[in-house]
Structure 1
Amino acid sequence: MTVALMWEARAVPGRGEDLLAWVSEQRLPEEPLRRETFRAPDDRVLVITWWERSYDDQVPELPEPDGELVTRAVHRWRFEAVPDA
Protein backbone atom coordinates (compact mmCIF):
# COMPACT_ATOMS: atom_id res chain seq x y z
CA MET A 1 0.00 0.00 0.00
CA THR A 2 1.15 3.53 -0.67
CA VAL A 3 0.64 6.25 1.93
CA ALA A 4 1.02 9.94 1.15
CA LEU A 5 1.79 12.48 3.85
CA MET A 6 0.99 16.14 3.28
CA TRP A 7 2.77 18.82 5.30
CA GLU A 8 1.59 22.43 4.88
CA ALA A 9 2.86 25.57 6.60
CA ARG A 10 2.16 29.28 6.26
CA ALA A 11 5.11 31.60 6.65
CA VAL A 12 5.08 34.94 8.38
CA PRO A 13 4.13 37.49 5.67
CA GLY A 14 7.07 38.11 3.37
CA ARG A 15 9.02 35.04 4.58
CA GLY A 16 7.72 32.50 2.08
CA GLU A 17 11.11 32.16 0.40
CA ASP A 18 12.74 31.61 3.80
CA LEU A 19 10.24 28.85 4.61
CA LEU A 20 10.78 27.29 1.19
CA ALA A 21 14.56 27.31 1.75
CA TRP A 22 14.14 25.86 5.25
CA VAL A 23 11.95 22.98 4.10
CA SER A 24 14.31 22.22 1.20
CA GLU A 25 17.14 21.72 3.71
CA GLN A 26 15.17 19.26 5.85
CA ARG A 27 16.23 15.64 5.50
CA LEU A 28 14.23 12.66 6.68
CA PRO A 29 15.91 9.67 8.37
CA GLU A 30 14.63 7.51 5.48
CA GLU A 31 14.11 8.38 1.83
CA PRO A 32 10.47 8.34 0.71
CA LEU A 33 9.43 6.80 -2.59
CA ARG A 34 8.82 10.35 -3.78
CA ARG A 35 8.89 13.88 -2.37
CA GLU A 36 7.48 17.04 -3.96
CA THR A 37 7.46 20.62 -2.72
CA PHE A 38 4.95 23.29 -3.76
CA ARG A 39 4.33 26.93 -2.95
CA ALA A 40 1.16 29.00 -3.06
CA PRO A 41 0.01 32.57 -2.46
CA ASP A 42 0.00 33.86 1.10
CA ASP A 43 3.52 32.45 1.68
CA ARG A 44 2.35 28.83 1.98
CA VAL A 45 4.54 25.78 1.39
CA LEU A 46 3.31 22.22 0.85
CA VAL A 47 5.40 19.05 0.90
CA ILE A 48 4.00 15.66 -0.09
CA THR A 49 5.93 12.46 0.59
CA TRP A 50 4.96 8.97 -0.58
CA TRP A 51 5.78 5.81 1.39
CA GLU A 52 5.33 2.10 0.75
CA ARG A 53 3.67 1.41 4.10
CA SER A 54 0.34 0.56 5.69
CA TYR A 55 -1.87 3.48 6.65
CA ASP A 56 -1.20 3.18 10.39
CA ASP A 57 2.56 2.53 10.13
CA GLN A 58 5.03 5.06 11.49
CA VAL A 59 6.67 7.10 8.77
CA PRO A 60 9.20 9.93 9.05
CA GLU A 61 7.66 13.38 9.02
CA LEU A 62 9.09 16.84 8.54
CA PRO A 63 9.48 18.81 11.78
CA GLU A 64 7.79 22.03 12.82
CA PRO A 65 9.68 25.12 11.66
CA ASP A 66 10.83 27.74 14.13
CA GLY A 67 7.88 29.74 15.46
CA GLU A 68 9.40 32.97 14.14
CA LEU A 69 9.13 31.60 10.58
CA VAL A 70 5.48 30.48 10.56
CA THR A 71 2.14 32.00 11.54
CA ARG A 72 0.61 28.80 12.91
CA ALA A 73 1.30 25.15 13.58
CA VAL A 74 1.94 22.95 10.55
CA HIS A 75 -1.10 21.18 9.10
CA ARG A 76 -0.56 17.47 8.41
CA TRP A 77 -2.74 14.97 6.55
CA ARG A 78 -2.30 11.30 5.73
CA PHE A 79 -3.89 9.54 2.75
CA GLU A 80 -3.76 6.03 1.34
CA ALA A 81 -3.71 5.28 -2.36
CA VAL A 82 -6.91 3.91 -3.86
CA PRO A 83 -6.63 1.51 -6.82
CA ASP A 84 -8.10 2.84 -10.04
CA ALA A 85 -11.63 1.55 -10.63
Structure 2
Amino acid sequence: MTVALMWEARASEGRGADLLAWARAQELAREPLRREIFRAPQDRVLVITWWDAPYDAELPELPEPDRELVTRAVHRWRFESVTDD
Protein backbone atom coordinates (compact mmCIF):
# COMPACT_ATOMS: atom_id res chain seq x y z
CA MET A 1 0.00 0.00 0.00
CA THR A 2 1.13 3.53 -0.69
CA VAL A 3 0.58 6.17 1.98
CA ALA A 4 0.98 9.88 1.30
CA LEU A 5 1.74 12.30 4.11
CA MET A 6 0.89 15.93 3.47
CA TRP A 7 2.41 18.79 5.47
CA GLU A 8 1.22 22.36 4.85
CA ALA A 9 2.27 25.62 6.49
CA ARG A 10 1.77 29.33 5.92
CA ALA A 11 4.78 31.56 6.42
CA SER A 12 4.78 34.71 8.49
CA GLU A 13 4.62 37.96 6.50
CA GLY A 14 7.63 38.20 4.19
CA ARG A 15 9.05 34.81 5.28
CA GLY A 16 7.86 32.62 2.38
CA ALA A 17 11.36 32.07 0.98
CA ASP A 18 12.65 31.24 4.47
CA LEU A 19 9.90 28.66 5.05
CA LEU A 20 10.52 27.10 1.64
CA ALA A 21 14.27 26.86 2.35
CA TRP A 22 13.54 25.39 5.80
CA ALA A 23 11.24 22.71 4.32
CA ARG A 24 13.80 21.79 1.66
CA ALA A 25 16.55 21.40 4.28
CA GLN A 26 14.61 19.01 6.54
CA GLU A 27 15.93 15.47 6.61
CA LEU A 28 13.75 12.54 7.55
CA ALA A 29 14.85 9.51 9.58
CA ARG A 30 14.14 7.36 6.48
CA GLU A 31 13.88 8.20 2.80
CA PRO A 32 10.36 8.13 1.34
CA LEU A 33 9.59 6.64 -2.06
CA ARG A 34 9.06 10.17 -3.30
CA ARG A 35 9.03 13.70 -1.90
CA GLU A 36 7.69 16.85 -3.53
CA ILE A 37 7.62 20.42 -2.31
CA PHE A 38 5.13 23.01 -3.58
CA ARG A 39 4.49 26.68 -2.92
CA ALA A 40 1.35 28.76 -3.35
CA PRO A 41 0.11 32.32 -2.89
CA GLN A 42 0.06 33.73 0.64
CA ASP A 43 3.49 32.14 1.26
CA ARG A 44 2.11 28.62 1.70
CA VAL A 45 4.42 25.60 1.49
CA LEU A 46 3.20 22.04 0.93
CA VAL A 47 5.35 18.92 1.29
CA ILE A 48 4.04 15.52 0.19
CA THR A 49 5.94 12.31 0.92
CA TRP A 50 4.98 8.87 -0.39
CA TRP A 51 5.70 5.69 1.55
CA ASP A 52 5.33 1.96 0.93
CA ALA A 53 3.67 1.19 4.26
CA PRO A 54 0.35 0.33 5.93
CA TYR A 55 -1.97 3.28 6.56
CA ASP A 56 -1.32 3.29 10.31
CA ALA A 57 2.46 2.79 10.07
CA GLU A 58 4.71 4.98 12.16
CA LEU A 59 6.40 7.19 9.57
CA PRO A 60 8.82 10.11 9.91
CA GLU A 61 7.19 13.49 9.40
CA LEU A 62 8.46 17.02 9.09
CA PRO A 63 8.49 18.84 12.43
CA GLU A 64 6.86 22.15 13.29
CA PRO A 65 9.01 25.08 12.15
CA ASP A 66 10.04 27.78 14.63
CA ARG A 67 7.01 29.84 15.64
CA GLU A 68 8.34 33.07 14.15
CA LEU A 69 8.51 31.41 10.71
CA VAL A 70 4.80 30.51 10.47
CA THR A 71 1.43 32.16 11.12
CA ARG A 72 -0.24 29.07 12.59
CA ALA A 73 0.31 25.43 13.44
CA VAL A 74 1.17 23.13 10.54
CA HIS A 75 -1.70 21.22 8.94
CA ARG A 76 -1.09 17.50 8.39
CA TRP A 77 -3.06 14.85 6.52
CA ARG A 78 -2.51 11.18 5.77
CA PHE A 79 -3.95 9.48 2.70
CA GLU A 80 -3.83 5.97 1.25
CA SER A 81 -3.82 5.25 -2.45
CA VAL A 82 -6.87 3.62 -4.01
CA THR A 83 -7.42 2.05 -7.40
CA ASP A 84 -10.59 1.71 -9.41
CA ASP A 85 -11.68 -1.91 -9.55
Secondary structure in 2 aligned to 1:8? strand
CA distance in 2, matches of 1:59, 1:45: 20
CA distance in 2, matches of 1:77, 1:19: 19
CA distance in 1, matches of 2:39, 2:32: 20
Gaps of 5+ in 1: none
1:9-52 deviation digits (Å, cap 9, x = unpaired): 00001110000000110000100000000000000000000000
Q: Aligned pair 1:31/2:31, yes or no?
A: yes
CA RMSD of aligned residues (A): 0.6
CA distance in 2, matches of 1:49, 1:84: 22
Match of residue 79 from structure 1: 79
Structure 1's consecutive aligned runs of 4 or more residues displaced over 4 angstroms after TM superposition are none
CA distance in 2, matches of 1:84, 1:33: 22
How many equivalent pairs are there?
85
Gaps of 5+ in 2: none
Q: Aligned pair 1:5/2:8, yes or no?
A: no
TM-score, structure 1 normalization: 0.98
AA of the residue aligned to 1:30: R
AA of the residue aligned to 1:69: L
